[in-house]
Amino acid sequence: MNLSLEYLINQKLAHVFDVLNLDKKFAVVKVSDRPDLSDFQCNGALALAKSERKNPREIAALIVGELEKDADFAKISIDGPGFINLSLADKFLAHNIDAIAADKNFGCAKVDKPNRVVMDFGGPNVAKALHVGHLRSAVVGESIRRIENFVGNETVSDVHFGDWGTPMGMILSEIIRQDGNLAKVETYDIKQISAFYKQANIRCKEDESAKEEARLITTKIQDKEPEFYKAWQHLRKVSVDDVKKNYAELEAHFDLWLGESDAHETCKEVVKIAQERGIAEVDDGATIIRLDETKSQRPPVILVKSDGGFGYQLTDIATIKMRYDDLHADEIIYVVDKRQSLHFEQVFEVAEKLNLAPNVKFLHIGFGTVNGPDGKPFKTRDGGVMNLEDLIKLSKDKVRESLPLPNEVEGYGEKEIEKMVTQIAMAAIKFQDLKNNIASGYIFELEDFAKFEGKTGPYIQYAVARINSIIRKANAAGIKEGNIIISNREEKDLALKISQLSNTIMRAHTEHEPSIISDYVYTLAQTFSTFYNASSIMNAESAELASSRLKMSRLVRDILVQLLYLLGIEAPEVMLKRERSAFDRNN
Ligand code: ARG
């Protein structure tokens, strides 16, 4: 079902164009830029005037003449050279909102043909703690995954673990250097393994032979020599278990926990295909594929390095083959740092050259970095990369300041308060991220991002809690939901805003841009607030109006909760705030 008003009006317009024998391509309206003059606007007469060689105002007059027969329009006028302004009858708008309120998908359109979309995001690496860069991949990726599902696509999300490169060899060689052998590997936990990795990193930077040793051990792992392979399996397992906790807290969902290592056998197949088809060539001992130079000058893709090792690019190319053969992907979406754009451009082109995934659509959604106050990628005070866990802790501490202490409010002990702290802190972190365009980086705001006012996640959560309380009060007074009535400007504005939901979500989907949803959710909360200030439920002019307003409030609450869900945010039923906090004093 598509209950978008633009869609419904376009259909009416198309009918009129049919009657008048005009090209239906131009039968489109847009939301008016001047809501004081009209609700919608159609500029089709101007475009038609050119192809029909007529005066645009004349054509507009013909269209208006037909439209006026439709009682769903309250006012139609022609403006300027031939713009058609349309205002809806309040009844029509009210019916539309009733229909949206009765539909479990809020009258939102679905895609015409559902696709199976493989989503590659997360991208953690063995033995490395998640940092703020991984935050964006998880937060944006999860939001896009939810939006894809909402519009009717089927998704398969894969975390694509970085578990097969030289870092693995570095860790094991460091353990051997310190312990003499790998006997104790299985006793090491994530902290110890990460420490080995850090030490290995320093050593390999300084010492060429340490690097060589690490490379050698990496080959042994990749050749599955039992002693090394078994040790590697332990590193991987410990890392996966650890990272799963982080993603659980972020509520990022992965259907598959595959990694680069899982593509190893397919890498061999891909190399064979490239050689057999004469697409690969040998250059300085390495097997490479040159890219189409007429497009732009890009370095060739190295399939097999001169030492026989498989690199990052080959792994991604092979993974495409697997996602086509085994997962039957129609589309593959990667949510990865935009600094990897060239990598994906190369990978996609090779996959196409080798015809590994015919007709599959590839998309790299490249995001900008999360920056510190200096505008550079976020660092800790001592200059290290900011860990995701530290960032979450920092946010929780901030949120805790504005909540009551445990047991200050009845029914809210430590457990309940901590749950709320987590919900609010996550909303603050995620909303701050998702209110920005994906491609642009942003400065992580440490002061205002968790406030209950302004364009923040907690503000929207607060709006939901406030409506919950309005509904509870109305229910207690025995008010029931009834048909929607539009009786004042504020009700009309809110109804028009609600009717834009379907298009908003569709746009967020086609543009792969959750910020379109965060913008809408924020303005919807504001429009509701204006509506509620002007349109009381408890003191409504009539019982029918009280029932209509209650329904409208419930609908807005449900939409806010749904949209927050699409942003990966949970809305608590009730929101508490600390008494006599700065927030209360200032408000
Ligand atoms: N592990 C990689 C990194 O940290 C990101 C992986 C992204 N996904 C992919 N299919 N290459 O840079």
Of ligand 1's listed atoms, the one at least distance from the Cα of 260 is: 10
pTM: 0.94
The average pLDDT across 503-514 equals 98
Partners of residue 304 on adjacent β-strands: 287, 310
Give the 3-state DSSP-derived string for 169-186, with helices as H, strands as E and coil as C.
HHHHHHHHHHHCCCCCHH
User: Cα separations (Å) of 58 from 54, 63, 78, 152, 471?
Assistant: 7, 9, 10, 43, 51
Closest alpha carbon to 101 in 434, 559, 584: 559
Residue pair 443/373 in contact by the 8 Å Cβ criterion: yes
Residue 332: in which H helix or E strand, if any?
strand 331-337
> Separation of 422 CA from ligand 1 center, angstroms?
28
Helices (H) and strands (E) in the chain, counts: 20, 13
Mean pLDDT of 71-99: 96
For 109-159, write each residue's pLDDT tens digit: 999 999 999 999 999 999 888 988 899 999 999 999 999 999 999 999 999
Give the pLDDT band of residue 580 (cuts 50, 70, 90): low
Model pLDDT for residues 283-302, shown as the tens digit of each residue:
999 999 999 877 778 899 99
Q: What is the phi-psi region of residue 256: left when phi exceeds 0, alpha when psi lies from -120 to 50, beta otherwise?
A: beta
Pocket of ligand 1, beta carbon within 6 A:
120, 123, 125, 160, 162, 316, 334, 336
Kindly tell me if the per-residue pLDDT of 23 is higher than 70: yes
* Spatial separation of the C-alpha atoms in residues 284 and 299, rounded to whole Å: 15
Q: What is the percent of the chain with per-residue pLDDT over 90, rounded to a whole number?
A: 86
Q: E strands within 339-449? A: 361-367, 370-371, 442-443
Secondary structure of 403-415 as H, E, C letters: CCCCCCCCCCCHH
Separation of alpha carbons 65 and 88, rounded Å: 16
Q: For the residues 63-91, what does the mean pLDDT come to?
A: 96
Distance of CA 573 to the CA centre of its chain: 24
pLDDT band (50, 70, 90) for residue 42: very high
* 30 three-class SS: strand
Residue 319 CA, closest ligand 1 atom number: 10
Which of 316, 309, 360, 284 shows the shortest CA–CA distance to 116? 360
Span 191-215, pLDDT tens digits = 999 999 999 999 999 999 999 999 9
Task: List residues bridging with 117 in a β-sheet.
Answer: 155, 331
| Separation of CA 438 and ligand 1 centre (Å) | 17
Closest alpha carbon to 72 in 52, 56, 94:
94
Reported as a single tens digit per residue, the pLDDT across 400-448 is 999 999 999 999 999 999 999 999 999 999 999 999 999 999 998 878 8
378 CA from centroid of ligand 1 (Å):
19
pLDDT of residue 375: 87
Q: How far is the CA of 423 from the centre of ligand 1 (A)?
A: 28
CB-based contact 429:135 (threshold 8 Å): yes
Other Cβ atoms within 10 Å of 198 Cβ, number: 14
Task: Please give the Cα distance from 587 to 585 (Å, whole number).
Answer: 6
Contacts 24+ apart (CB under 8 A), 503-508: 503/4, 503/6, 503/7, 505/108, 505/147, 505/150, 505/151, 505/566, 506/108, 506/109, 506/151, 508/147, 508/566
Residue type, 310: F
Assign 161 to helix, strand or coil. Answer: strand
Structure tokens at 58: 């004349």
Distance (Å) from CA 393 to ligand 1 centroid:
25
d(CA 315, ligand 1 centre) in Å: 10
Q: Which of 258-267, 291-300, 369-378 has the lowest mean pLDDT?
A: 291-300
**Helix axis angle, 56-67 to 44-52, nearest 10°:** 120
Helix intervals (H) in 404-514: 414-434, 457-476, 489-498, 501-510
Q: Does 584 have pLDDT greater than 70?
A: no
CB count within 10 Å of CB 116 equals 16
- Judge whether residue 550 has pLDDT over 90: yes
Which tens digit of pLDDT belongs to each residue from 469-504? 999 999 999 999 999 999 999 999 999 999 999 999
Among 118, 166, 336, 341, residue to substitute to test ligand 1 (most atoms within 8 Å of Cβ): 336
Q: What percent of the chain is predicted at pLDDT more than 70? A: 99
DSSP 61-86: HHHHHHHTT-TTEEEEEEETTTEEEE
How many angstroms does the Cα of residue 137 sit away from the middle of ligand 1? 10
CA distance 16 to 69: 10
* Residues present in the chain in total: 587
For residues 246 and 511, give the distance between their C-alpha atoms in angstroms, rounded to a whole number.
28
Q: Which residues of 250-288 are buried (b: 16+ CB within 10 A; e: fewer)?
A: bbbbbebbbbbbbbbebbeebbeebeeeeebeeeeebbb
Residue nearest to atom 6 of ligand 1 (CA): 123
Mutate to test the pocket of ligand 1, among 160, 168, 345, 348 (most ligand atoms within 8 A of CB): 160
Checking if the pLDDT of 337 tops 70, the result is yes
Whose C-alpha lies nearest to ligand 1, atom 7? 123
Closest-CA residue, ligand 1 atom 5, reads: 123
> Which of the four pLDDT bands, split at 50, 70 and 90, describes residue 520?
very high
